[in-house]
Amino acid sequence: MEIIHANVISNGAMLADAYVRASDGVIREIGAMEQYAPDGSKVLDAEGNVLCAGYIDQHTHGAMGYDVMDATKEALDEICRHHFRNGVTTILPTTMTASLEETTKVLSFLRDYAPPVPVKIPGVHMEGPFFSVKNRGAHIERLLTAPTDAWQQMIREHAEVVKMISLSPELEGMVSFIRLCGELGIVVSGGHDDGYDDPIYAAIEAGMRNVTHIFCCSSGITRRGSPWKRLGLTEIGLTDNRLYADAIADGNGIPYDLLPLLFRAKGRDRLIFISDSMRATGLQPGTYRLGSDEEGVIVDVTETAAILHGENLFAGSIACVSKMVEDAVKRSGIPLVDAVLAATRNPAALLGLEDRGDLLPGMASAMNLITKEGELRKTVVWETVYEKGEEIQ
């Protein structure tokens, strides 16, 4: 496969009028069109559009009427097809707070799951159950827990499946648990917390590296019974360069006018776009369930948002990462390269995915062709060329 006449986003910069040559699923060569010589490979003319790495979504619960907690091939197949249709070539299927038995079932299923489309699954994101009651959001209170011995043993047994865990850093025993996660190669992200500076900084020192959907159920400034203000996870996430921050950049989780502030605070190398997509993503408005039938919650879905039934709270989103890249450019004025990094190189760096997230020789040939305004046109993985809007079997 050769892609010619493309403006290529590579290593954080735009290479004008370039070509990319790939074979056997790996990028072999990137160069200026003036140096291009055809070698008989299949050729795709980008016609001056922008070529970037395939998008990475490290936080997705579901789509097309299915949830990761369904733990069936039918469910995960449809979720993966939805993401591939929207330019996401790498995902972390994300669990909800659930019982130990339910979570174990989901992780065991995903250990052996293989997608029907060229979407890479490096592992699972466990969102909960180690959360505060105050900022639990859509997570069921009775299922919240500290990382007990039983939970830690289960995670050890599934360490090759669990890639990321979101937790509240102020809970009892978190420093030692975060260190355990580091030993197991699991990325720790803080969120749904009721923390303040001391335990949050202790968690960072222990290895916490990210803030889960910043401004959404992340703690803020508090006085803790004294006149002195204590920083919460939101403020520390904005100001501490050791932390990445991921954001639901759909205009709801992060209003469009707030996104430039996030980029100014974190810089273009520390902000990550996530969908936090739920079951209703890709479907019509209505009433849906987030999580499993046994342990999920009811969500009311409008044309633009997913809202926890009976609460004044969003319940994830119905957006996709590719739309967030486009809206960041069109509605928030973010430079295209910066918006693309938030969906490619940054999550790859956080998750330690060394073979993807950028277009460089030796990396996986998972690529998106987008307009200069960030609108997705095609997704190219190996020799598969998917035109936005086509049906996928």
CATH of the domain at 372: 2.30.40.10
Q: Check whether residue 221 and residue 329 sit in a common domain.
A: yes
Per-residue confidence band for 390, with pLDDT thresholds at 50, 70 and 90: confident
Per-residue pLDDT tens digits for 287-319: 888 877 777 788 888 888 888 887 777 878 999
Q: Which of 308, 296, 278 is nearest to 67 (CA)?
A: 278
Q: Indicate whether 237 and 199 sit together in one domain.
A: yes
pLDDT of residue 272: 98
Instruction: Identify whether residues 270 and 232 lie together within a single domain.
Output: yes
Q: Which residue range forms the structural domain that includes residue 333?
A: 54-351
Residue 393 belongs to some domain of the structure? no
Per-residue pLDDT tens over the stretch 84-110: 999 999 999 999 999 999 999 999 999
Indicate whether 199 pLDDT > 90: yes
> What is the distance between the alpha carbons of residues 126 and 118, in angstroms, rounded to a whole number?
23
pLDDT at 54 over 70: yes
pLDDT > 70? residue 393? no
> Which comes out higher in pLDDT, residue 391 or 218?
218
Residues facing residue 314 across a β-bridge: 307
Q: Report the number of distinct structural domains present in the chain.
A: 2
Q: What is the mean pLDDT of the chain?
A: 94
Mean pLDDT confidence for 337-350 = 98
Same domain membership, residue 239 and residue 373: no
Same domain, 111 and 165: yes
Under 8 Å CB-to-CB from 127, ≥6 apart: which residues?
59, 61, 94, 95, 96, 97, 139, 166, 191, 192, 212
Which of 163-172, 251-260, 287-296, 351-360 is least confident?
A: 287-296
Percent of the chain at pLDDT exceeding 90: 83
Residues 207 and 340 occupy one common structural domain:
yes
Clarify whether residues 370 and 322 are in a common domain.
Answer: no
Q: Which whole number is the average pLDDT over 350-372?
A: 97
129 and 15 fall within a common domain: no
Query: pTM to 2 decimals?
Result: 0.95
Q: Give the span between the Cα atoms of 372 and 283, in whole angstroms.
A: 28
Higher pLDDT, 226 or 366: 366
pLDDT band at 274 (very low <50, low <70, confident <90, very high): very high
CA distance 94 to 352: 18
